Chain A
Amino acid sequence: MDAHIKIVDFHVRYGEHTVLEKINLEIPKHQITVIMGPSGCGKTTLLKGMNRFLELVEDAHVKGQVLIDGEDIYDPVMDVTEIRKKIGLLAQHPYPLPMPIYDNVAYGLRIHQMCKNGKEMDEQVRHFLQEAGLWEEVKDRLHKPASGLSIGQQQRLCLARGLAIKPEILLGDEPTSALDPISAQHIEKRLLSLKAEYTIVLVTHILRQAKRLADHVVFMYLGEMVECGPAREVFENPRQERTRAYLAGQF
């Protein structure tokens, strides 16, 4: 496996409460890895550990390493803004920024000064709105507030916004659970087509979604990584008892 992310002895606790216990795993490049498990098993925490979002949580203590292309992102000399530029996050609830649609997508471009002139920025905004499958619906109202979009459109806008900074890795924290089925399907289709260029890590509690999207699966339970491997192996021939029980719908 060509590992893009390597997690070594990763340990997280919130105050006195241990959330992640000695996690060791590798995330393959250019595949969709799904982290699944019952609620409370720590999958969101693991996801947030990959772009150093745990620092935003009060009382969170992190030990261990997360290596991306060989560099540990938790090394103190690392620039967390550069790290987060490399890793896009699609959250559960879409939060459009308080600005027009165009500016939402251009936000990252401006922050990281990625465009030389206005024409290039227009081109980039159009490109990423197309990538996210939103261009046709908004091309005539680019300068209207993003808050006017439907929730499915907002999530696609967040996708465009995240893609615009040209990350290598895309994280998704239950990105479709707040959406109606049609928008959810749309996002899933986009993710499947994006894996050719990006490494995608998704968290989901919907087993069927995992089965639809995953190339690689990580199963977690109560803060531990129980089993991981190629999707077909894990789904058809789980090695662990707990995995089997989860797949059978027992919890």
Chain B
Amino acid sequence: MIQSKSLSARESQSERLSLAVRLRSDKFARWVFIILSIIPVVLALLIFGMLVFKSLPIMKVNSIWQLLTGQVWKPEEGLFGFWPFITGTIWVTLTALLIAVPPSLLTAIYLSEYAGRSLRTGMKPLLDLLAAIPSVVYGVWGTLAIVPFIQNKLGPFVRQHLPNIPILNSDNPTGFGILAGAIVLAIMITPFIIAILFEIMNNLPKGLKDASLALGTTKLQTIRWVVFPQALPGIIAAIGLGASRALGETMAVLMVVGNVARVPHSLLDAAYPLPALIANNYGEMMSIPLYDAALMTAALILLVIILLFNVTSTMALQSVLGKKGA
């Protein structure tokens, strides 16, 4: 390649200059990057630390056991028992999972085993949309569609025709309650669970299904005896992640769950999950002594439970996907 001499001389001079500048800015950039990369870690520690710090005042007065199992919540009298809220959270989340997991599993199986390519590609934006709809909007829908249904149709039906089933018996005349919260929550976590399950099923070694089908099984038999057992760890991880999502959902549940601080005995009872407790009362928390510490303790409990589910499920999921991924 022929280059004019003057051009190359000028080039090499500017090269040398910019090289020096670039080396120095490279070092500078390095330090900036290092500092920035510490931010997430600092943030995580800060959040956890501040919550613990702010919860301490109440821990000095009550033991953790007292707080967790206490059944009475009367902040004005200094009684902070979290048990109604913990059980409320468990009831809503568990019911939501029971409602969401079977359809999610079936849909994921349908998409990966029976549906054609066009259905599969069409499903992705649909699931994205369901997942993108904000919590409040789900709350609005729940208030407009689910609560009236329970109040006017389901409740009376149950009272009239199924009065002997304890889990459905309630003195709550409104539609606001655990069932409403669970239904809304179930729809919210479904796209999330389906996406994970689909990912898992697609990552199963193809030869495995072929090996079973070659022996003359129907698709269902292969699903039952090969696909499902193979995918089981991943399915459990998906449920765990769905649970961690459900536990943290605040607005939608808050708007339909009734917000009554009682230990629930029925699906139609009103309940008061932990996130709703925090959201509803932060305004008053400075006015009553120890109220703010109590709410921060609630946040801390919630955080710990969610992180437990989240981290174990993510690790399980990564090992499932990593091991079997092509």
- A positions within 8 Å CB-CB of B: 51, 53, 56, 58, 81-85, 88-89, 91, 93, 95-99, 107-108, 111-112, 158, 161-162, 165
Residues of B within 8 A of A98 (CB): 208, 226, 229-230
Q: CB-CB < 8 A to B211: which residues of A?
A: 91, 95-97, 158, 161
Q: Tell me whether A53 and B214 are in contact (CB under 8 A).
A: yes
B128 within 8 A of A: no
In the complex, which of the residues A91, A93, A97 has the most CB atoms of chain B within 10 Å of its own CB atom?
A97
Q: Are A81 and B214 in contact (CB under 8 A)?
A: no
Task: Please pick, from B117, B208, B215, the residue contacting A84 in the complex, using a CB distance under 8 A.
Answer: B215
A99 / chain B contacts, CB cutoff of 8 Å: 225, 229
Q: Which of A95, A112, A158 is in CB contact (< 8 Å) with B216?
A: A112
Taking CB atoms, residues of chain B closer than 8 Å to A108 are 215-216
Contacts of A53 in B (CB 8 A): 210, 213-214
For the complex of A and B, list the 7 residue pairs with the smallest distance between their C-beta atoms, beginning with the closest.
A85-B216, A84-B216, A89-B214, A95-B207, A95-B211, A108-B215, A81-B216
Contact, CB under 8 Å: A97 / B218 = no
Kindly state the separation between the CA atoms of A82 and B218 in the bound complex, as whole angstroms.
Answer: 10
The answer to whether residues A84 and B213 also contact, given A97-B226, A107-B225 and a CB cut-off of 8 A, is yes
Closest B residue to A93 using CB positions? B207
8 additional contacts (CB under 8 A) given A97-B211, A161-B211: A56-B210, A58-B117, A88-B215, A89-B210, A91-B211, A95-B207, A95-B211, A108-B216
Q: Name the residue on A nearest B116 (C-beta).
A: A58
Residues of A within 8 A of B25 (CB): none
Does B14 belong to the interface (CB within 8 Å)? no
B318: chain A residues at CB < 8 Å are none
B202-253 with Cβ < 8 A to chain A: 205, 207-208, 210-218, 221, 225-226, 229-230
Question: In the complex, are the beta carbons of A84 and B214 less than 8 A apart?
Answer: yes
- Give the residue name and chain of the A residue nearest to B214 (CB): A89
What are 25 A-B residue pairs whose CB atoms fall within 8 Å in the complex?
A51-B214, A56-B213, A58-B116, A58-B117, A81-B218, A84-B214, A84-B216, A88-B215, A89-B210, A89-B214, A91-B210, A95-B208, A95-B210, A95-B211, A97-B211, A97-B225, A98-B226, A98-B230, A107-B215, A108-B215, A111-B215, A111-B217, A111-B225, A161-B211, A165-B216
- The chain A residue with its CB closest to the CB of B227 is A98
Kindly state the separation between the CA atoms of A141 and B43 in the bound complex, as whole angstroms: 53
Q: Is the CB of A165 within 8 A of B210?
A: no
Question: A86 — nearest CB in chain B belongs to which residue?
Answer: B216
Residue numbers in A under 8 Å from B207 (CB-CB): 91, 93, 95
Residues of B close to A58: CB separation below 8 A: 116-117
Across-interface contacts of B116 in A (CB, < 8 A): 58
Chain B min CB distance to A46 (Å): 16
A88 touches B214 (CB 8 A): yes
**In the docked arrangement, what's the CA distance between A99 and B211, Å?**
13
Determine if B210 and A111 form an interchain contact, defined as CB atoms under 8 angstroms apart. no
The residue in chain A whose Cβ has the minimal distance to the Cβ of B217 is A111
Q: Which of B212, B214, B226 has the most A CB atoms < 10 Å from its CB?
A: B214
Which chain A residues border B214 with CB–CB below 8 Å? 51, 53, 84, 88-89, 91, 162
Instruction: State in angstroms the CA–CA spacing of A91 and B214 once bound together.
Output: 10
Which of chain A's residues has its CB closest to B231's CB?
Answer: A98
**Given A95-B205, A98-B229, also A85-B215 (CB < 8 A):** yes
B216 close to A82 (CB less than 8 A): yes
Task: Give, as a whole number of angstroms, the nearest-CB distance from A176 to chain B.
Answer: 16
Instruction: Give Cα A148 to B214, complex, Å.
Output: 22
Shortest Cβ gap from B109 to chain A (Å): 16
Q: Which residues of A contact B212 (CB under 8 A)?
A: 97, 107
Query: How distant is the Cα of A98 from the Cα of B229 in the complex, in angstroms?
Result: 7
Please, which residues of chain B bring their CB within 8 A of the CB of A161?
A: 211, 215
- Bound together, the chains give a CA A59 to CA B283 distance in angstroms of 61
